[in-house]
Amino acid sequence: MRTHKQTTLKGPATLSGIGVHSGNPAEITIRPAPANHGIAFLRTGTTHGNDRLIKAHHALVSATELCTVLGDVETGAVATVEHLMSALYGLGVDNALIEIDGPEMPILDGSALPFVQAIDQIGIATCDTPRRWLKILRHVRIEAGTSFAELRPIDRGFRLDVEIDFESPVIGRSRKAMDLSPATYRREIAGARTFGMMRDVERYWKAGFALGASLENTVAVGETAVVNPEGLRFQDEFVRHKILDAVGDLALAGLPIQGAYRSYCGGHRMNVGVLSALFADRANYAIVEAQGSRRETVLSELGVGLGIAAFAGDL
């Protein structure tokens, strides 16, 4: 696949399951889309009967508690988008339309692996249009207590450095850094599952979360061990899943990132928050076309911006 060209899918792929938080069934179909379309969700089955097109853009995030939600809950939203967004970004898919018939994405096995397998089965197609990148020009950082998330410039690629620190002795403190590519994503990140503490289950239920969680889609963490009989897929599966989530949330920038991301005890709110901080000042970033093209320098010098007007589509 030529990385200097935009990509889409060679055909549609349909997956179904239940939402990890709502417990309700949902079916999605991931469809090809033309160049410069980006990623968008077509929400059907709304209470008012009107379909709603929701662009995958950080400015349209309406909630970040335990998952990332796009759109207005009253008129049509899509929750738990981060795993599919992560798979699309991780594999280098620039353009796709996701049709979904309910308010929450299916959790499947709790990782991005089923999405990756579906995409690999249908294949990725190359468009004739040059790929554009979001180049980080200045260090941007947000903090909340001891937690932080930051983006900083690097010469090439997209690097993630994520650290977690839980009081649970089963999870503890862990850190992983990696340069993102389709190969490393498939091998090191895609299969890492979502996780939760057994002691928090009742509290989540009362708040309307985790109603569809089970040992088939969540790593359940007890006081002294993982409850799932098969154990962990990776020794450091917890921090790998946090990277998976970060990739999915940062995909809401609307373009692939050239830069480095670092977080400590972050999460969906911090991931989306650092994008808001980045786009708050036009001097923080530049839009460039694929490296080596004549257009790359022109876009940087002209300061072509990335805003909601360019990526919101028909909202």
| Tokens at 33, concatenated | 């889309």
Question: SS3 of 11, please?
Answer: coil
For residues 263 and 246, is the Cβ–Cβ distance under 8 A? yes
Tens of pLDDT, residues 76-113 = 899 999 999 999 999 999 999 999 999 999 999 999 99
pLDDT(2) > 60: no
Tens of pLDDT, residues 112-169 = 999 999 999 999 999 999 999 999 999 999 999 999 999 999 999 999 999 999 999 9
For a pLDDT cut of 90, what percent of the chain falls above it?
Answer: 82
Total length of the chain = 315
Cα 304 to Cα 27: distance, rounded to the nearest angstrom: 37
Tens of pLDDT, residues 221-266 = 999 999 999 999 999 999 999 999 999 999 999 999 999 999 999 9
pLDDT at site 75 = 81
Task: Give the predicted TM-score (pTM) of the model.
Answer: 0.91
Tally the C-alpha atoms within 13 A of residue 162's C-alpha that lie toward its C-beta: 24
pLDDT(294) > 50: no
Using DSSP bridges, classify how beta strands 219-221 and 195-197 pair: parallel, antiparallel or unpaired.
parallel
Distance, C-alpha 290 to centroid of its chain: 22
Enumerate residues 6+ apart whose C-beta is below 8 A from 83: 105, 107, 108, 111, 112, 115, 194, 244, 245, 248
Cα 4 to Cα 156: distance, rounded to the nearest angstrom: 13
Instruction: Choose among 24, 48, 116, 61: nearest CA to 253.
Output: 61
pLDDT at site 178 = 98
Reported as a pLDDT band with limits 50, 70 and 90, residue 3 is confident
Instruction: Choose among 137, 130, 128, 244: nearest CA to 192.
Output: 244
Which member of 21, 37, 57, 268 is catalytic? Answer: 268
| 21: annotated active-site residue | no
pLDDT at site 300 = 41
Cα 141 to Cα 271: distance, rounded to the nearest angstrom: 11
